[in-house]
Amino acid sequence: MKLSIITATWNSAATIENAILSVASQKYPGLEHIIVDGNSADGTLPIVFRHADKIDKLLSEPDHGIYDAMNKGISLATGDVVGILNSDDFYAHPHVLEKVAGVFADERVDSCYGDLIYVDPANVKRVTRYWRSGIHTPRSFYRGWMPPHPTFFVRRRVYERYGNFNLSLGTAADYELTLRLLLKHRVSTVYIPEVLVHMRAGGASNASLKSRLATMRMANLSWQVNNLKPLPWTLTFRLLSKLVQFIRAQDLPATQ
């Protein structure tokens, strides 16, 4: 079984090498790493070229944002399963993709996901949030749930059948995708109960109060475009779940 890992970059010189080495360190042999760059103007591309032997495909051209880049990566993917590793993320250990491949050995499985921790960008050993996903049920999204997108792996045939990221949903495009696949179309999924990805804190959807409110509006629209109706408290519970993630992080030791 072949896994395609897509990394979208734009002016990511500070972190892209770490992402490349994280994929390269995986013990699973059947991988392709695809980098889709948004025409970076910093030192991103020289770093990527320096690690050309670890990268299977590179596309660098202007795009319409990170989800447009991810869609381009999905179109380039030849693996049976597609995963997304952002340019400022890295895998928790060298056996993550082995575990993912083991789940997909069952042909009935369409997708899988795990847990994620946010780390301080200046000190990646300091955990700031712990996103413990838990088991998905048909009612999960109504309770404010979603899987951490960097831990979400999907069979390529599912994208081909149900579509890629909806660019009109802005920073909620990952929420809309998981809502569409898991709730609307009920694709099968498996929870891997461990941390799979470390994510540096920050990001467009959490950059400011204005961006957070915009993401919430787009999350509500995500239900509408799929002809689904959330419960009155669904999006409030989604906000509260993030608060719980911060509280959990206080009880965790620094990562190794």
Residue 36 pairs with which residues in a beta bridge?
8, 59
Tell me the pTM. Answer: 0.92
pLDDT at residue 215, as a whole number: 78
CA distance 220 to 53: 43
pLDDT at residue 203, as a whole number: 58
pLDDT at residue 246, as a whole number: 67
The residue to which tokens 């965790």 are assigned: 252
For 105-149, write each residue's pLDDT tens digit.
999 999 999 999 999 999 999 999 999 999 999 899 999 999 999
Taking the chain (256 residues) in runs of 10, the rounded mean pLDDT of each run is 98 97 97 98 96 98 97 98 98 98 98 97 93 94 95 98 97 96 98 98 60 82 96 82 67 53
pLDDT at residue 248, as a whole number: 64
Give the pairing type, strands 111-120 and 189-200: parallel
pLDDT at residue 241, as a whole number: 72
Level-2 CATH architecture, domain 3-249: Alpha-Beta Complex (3.90)
Residue 90 pairs with which residues in a beta bridge?
198
Q: Cα–Cα–Cα angle for 251, 120, 12, nearest 5°?
A: 150
pLDDT at residue 238, as a whole number: 74
The residues, any chain, with a CB within 8 Å of residue 208's CB and separated by 6 or more, are: none
For 144-165, write each residue's pLDDT tens digit.
999 999 999 999 999 999 999 9
Domain limits of the chain? Answer: 3-249
CA distance 60 to 90: 21
Q: Cα–Cα–Cα angle for 66, 70, 76, nearest 5°?
A: 145
Helices (H), 84-123: 96-104
Torsion of Cα atoms, 141 then 169 then 22 then 11, to 10°: -150
The residues, any chain, with a CB within 8 Å of residue 150's CB and separated by 6 or more, are: 84, 85, 86, 89, 116, 196, 197, 199
pLDDT at residue 256, as a whole number: 46
Cβ pair 83, 153 in contact under 8 A: yes
Reading the block at residue 144, the tokens are 């404010």
pLDDT at residue 144, as a whole number: 92
